[in-house]
Amino acid sequence: MSEDKQTGWRGPEHLANRNGRPLGTKNKTTVAIREAYQNLVELNLENMSLWIGQVAAENPEKAMDLMIKLSEYVIPKLARTEVTGKDGDDLFKDMRFEFGPSITERIEDIEIDE
């Protein structure tokens, strides 16, 4: 075995991967850990429901917090995005919403009717 001065490779030359791991290939250790964690969760689904129920009996807020934290592993979080116009201009600067008469106008109408 000879040591490659550039990469520190100490194995046989015919086993050296000069291009590195191909894009998209997952790290074997990471895959194994995720599979082990997934199995642990799947085998304890009933227990998890029981445990959250026990927490909820004493502290519903804490149980809800646990549910939210667990949901992050199932439901992806949405990224926040900012919508802007050309050169960062506010797209909604000229937008107006009209929902009907104002409260003041409605009160005046009621007083007039009486």
10-41 per-position pLDDT tens digit: 888 887 777 777 777 888 898 999 899 889 98
- pLDDT of residue 54 exceeding 90: yes
> What CA dihedral angle connects 66, 72, 74 and 79, to 10 degrees?
160
Per-residue pLDDT band for 97 (boundaries 50, 70, 90) equals confident
Instruction: Quickly list DSSP for 97-108.
Output: ---SS-HHHHHH
Q: Return the pLDDT at 114.
A: 60
d(CA 10, CA 3): 4
Percent of the chain with pLDDT over 70: 90
- pLDDT of residue 68 exceeding 70: yes
Q: Return the pLDDT at 32.
A: 92
Q: Return the pLDDT at 47.
A: 93
